[in-house]
Chain A
Amino acid sequence: MTRATSGPASRPSCGAAVGDERSFRVALVADRFVNPAPGGLDGLAVLAAAGWGVMQLPDDAYPAEVARLLLAEVAEQVEEFSRHGYVFVLIGERAGLDEALHAVGVPVPPGITPASAAELSEFLSAQPVPPAATAARE
């Protein structure tokens, strides 16, 4: 079974179903939405409930060289997903991401820096059905 639609939903179950449950949807997510400060927006919870995979971007506190190496690895993986029709979004921002994606020939995906869970959910719901999900259904 593949998930063809997006949008906020109750948390998808993990492991109970038979077959491949991937959503073909991946969000590049700034660290502050994965590890929110007290009172901050828990983007990871919203993305989990909506069935999106997460690729975490390096914490801004990391030394520049550490971040550069990690961003290069993120970019290579984005390139692989992109060639196979997976859909990407960017949640928040990360210095150096544009350059890393450019180096592998991938554009920066549509993005948002959400102020609320509702705003993030609405943004996710508006994304197109991934070509890979359509192909998997056929």
Chain B
Amino acid sequence: MGVAFVAHCLLNQNSKVREGAHCAGVYSPIVDVLRAEGWRIEQMPCPELAFSGLNRFWAVREQYDTAAFRRHCRRLATAVAGAIAARAEQGEDVVLVGVQGSPSMGVTITSSDPERGGKPAWPDGTPEHTGGEGIFVEELHAELDRRGITFRVAGETHALATHDEGDQRARLQAVLRGGGG
């Protein structure tokens, strides 16, 4: 058991980009697993909400990969890392639960399309998902490395074409129990 630092939207789907909220408020499939496994829940800020607002467009990593957004993410990462450090100093296990496919909150899968820009129209099914971390997770990772704090990662997978709630639950359980995701 330990502390799960979860992406903001997992407790508050209102923060999602428009047309992206899978449920009214709390994304229960993740919360239920954390509760059942006895993990404490800590919510991280949404990097995109405060920076680009509620009316932001769906975006890929390259569109957020700017000096200004990275500064914003580093500010958030400093705040979150302070909380993580306080837990780590107590000897608690830390897991980051991100959002796979997210340009900012992906933990092992983010979104990429170097050509995307201009008038916001593109076909569904664009193969934008690619391995890697989102911008905020990358900055938080760097800050935690700097502080010598280790952690494991898990991800909500709703945005992926391969999403399966049972698989998502099993992978999260595996990470919480100390295994791989």
Contact = CB atoms under 8 A, between A and B. Distances in A.
Interface of A: 3, 11-15, 19-26, 34-35, 44, 47-48, 50-56, 58-59, 61-63, 65-66, 69-70, 72-74, 76-77, 80-81, 84, 86
Nearest to B6: A56
A5 B56 CA distance: 26
A69 B82 contact: yes
B14 interface: yes
A53 B25 contact: yes
Given A22-B13, A56-B11, A80-B53, A66 B26 contact: no
B62 to A, nearest CB: 24
A77 B50 contact: yes
B41 A66 contact: no
Given A54-B43, A69-B82, A76 B25 contact: no
Contacts, number: 131
A86 B25 contact: no
Chain B: interface size category: 35 or more
B86 A53 contact: no
Interface in B105-149: none
B177 interface: no
B166 to A, nearest CB: 13
A19 B177 CA distance: 34
Contact of B24 (A12, A19, A73): A12
